[in-house]
Structure 1
Amino acid sequence: MKGAIMEQSIELFANKGFKETSIQDIMDVLNVTKGTFYYYYKSKEEVLMDIQYQYINRLLDSQEKIIHDEETSYQEKLHEIIFKLLNDIEKEGLRAKVFFREMRHLTNEHLNQIMEKRDQFKENIQLVVEEGIKKGEFRSDLPPNIVTFGILGMANWSYFWFKPEGPIPDVEVAKIFYKMLLEGIEKKE
């Protein structure tokens, strides 16, 4: 039942918004009492926190595997991380939407916990960029922290517009982002 509560909450939070969704809305869809909800969760925010934790922990686990693969170049690692972000948006759909959009409804204490994990994800990307610079795979004249924010900005906002059922699949969008990142959009003569 805990899983059902979470899945239904994800759907409602994504479609109606966290603030506009009541515990009663969740229970009505599941056709159970509020007592059932409170057996598993203390509050609606606790459900949101579970959604946040599961999403970011899964991303961090995937990212760590990519980073620690010693057989891959830093260029390949960066491409894989960008693809992973887009692929998760395709795979996770509504969960990704809730993760990115509804985080603002967490209390400061909970928000700080999630931000620590998001910061770790950002720092891991910056580490890949810095190591790629050291190995001569990336340009050294651009600040790694700004490059990192650019990567995250491109990939994270795609939850808003990327349509997995659309004409361009996630793997192609990741290639386009990666090519823009490495080569820019300036026309070469």
Structure 2
Amino acid sequence: MRQRLIESGINLFDEKGFTETSVEDITKELQVTKGTFYYYFKSKQQLLRDIHLGYIEYLLNNQEEILKDPGKDSKDKLRATIYMIIHSIQSQKKSARIFFREMRNLAPEYLKQNMEKRDLFRKNVQRIVEEGVREGCFEENLNTDMITRGILGVTNWSYYWFNPEGEVSDEELTDIYLEMILNGITKK
């Protein structure tokens, strides 16, 4: 039941927004009582927090697999990370939208928890960029913090417009982003 409540919350928060969705909307959709909701969640805020944590933990778990792969150099890890973010849009699009759009509605104690995990994800990407600098794959004098934020800005915003069933596949978009990041768009 807890997972069904989360899924209902994801659907309704995505469709109507967090502030416009009531606990009653969620319970009505599942044909359960408010008591059922409050058995699993103290508040609508806690449900939002759990949706956020579910999404970022999904990304962190996948990222950890990429980072641990001894067969990948920094370019391979960067590509795998970009692909993972883009590919997750297919199964996690609503959660991604809620994660970015509804962050402003998280209570401070929940926001802090969420930001710590977001920062960990960003720092892990920055580690990949720094590793690439050390390996000699990337330019030496990069501002790795700003490069990392740029990479994440490009890839994270894709949840808003990218259609995995559209004319460009997740693999193709990953390659387009990687080419742009590694080589720019200046004519050679």
TM-score, normalization by structure 2: 0.97
Find the residue that maps to 2:102 and give its secondary structure.
helix
Could you tell me which amino acid in structure 2 is paired with residue 79 of structure 1? R
Q: CA deviation at 1:9?
A: 0.6
Q: 1:38 maps to which residue?
A: 38
Find the residue that maps to 1:93 and give its secondary structure.
helix
Within 1, Cα distance between the matches of 2:159 and 2:60? 18
Within 2, Cα distance between the matches of 1:139 and 1:68? 24
Q: CA deviation at 1:89?
A: 1.4
Q: CA deviation at 1:74?
A: 0.5
Within 1, Cα distance between the matches of 2:172 and 2:33? 45
Q: 1:110 maps to which residue?
A: 110
Q: CA deviation at 1:181?
A: 0.2
Q: 1:119 maps to which residue?
A: 119
Q: CA deviation at 1:131?
A: 0.8
Percent identity between the two aligned chains: 48
**Deviation digits for residues 58-96 of structure 1, max 9, x if unmatched?**
111111111121111110000000010111112212111
Within 1, Cα distance between the matches of 2:82 and 2:102? 22
**Deviation digits for residues 161-185 of structure 1, max 9, x if unmatched?**
1112211111111110000000101
Could you tell me which amino acid in structure 1 is paired with residue 166 of structure 2? G
Q: 2:140 maps to which residue?
A: 140
> CA-atom RMSD, angstroms?
0.9
**Deviation digits for residues 131-165 of structure 1, max 9, x if unmatched?**
11010011113211111001000011111111122
Could you tell me which amino acid in structure 2 is paired with residue 175 of structure 1? D
Q: CA deviation at 1:34?
A: 0.8
Deviating 4+ runs (over 4 angstroms): none
Q: CA deviation at 1:36?
A: 1.1
Within 2, Cα distance between the matches of 1:166 and 1:66? 27
Q: CA deviation at 1:29?
A: 0.8
Within 2, Cα distance between the matches of 1:161 and 1:32? 34
Question: May I ask how many residue pairs the two structures share in their alignment?
Answer: 188
Unaligned runs of 5+ in 1: none
Could you tell me which amino acid in structure 2 is paired with residue 92 of structure 1? Q
Q: 2:83 maps to which residue?
A: 83
**1:16 lines up with 2:16 in the alignment:** yes
Find the residue that maps to 1:157 and give its secondary structure.
helix
**1:72 lines up with 2:63 in the alignment:** no
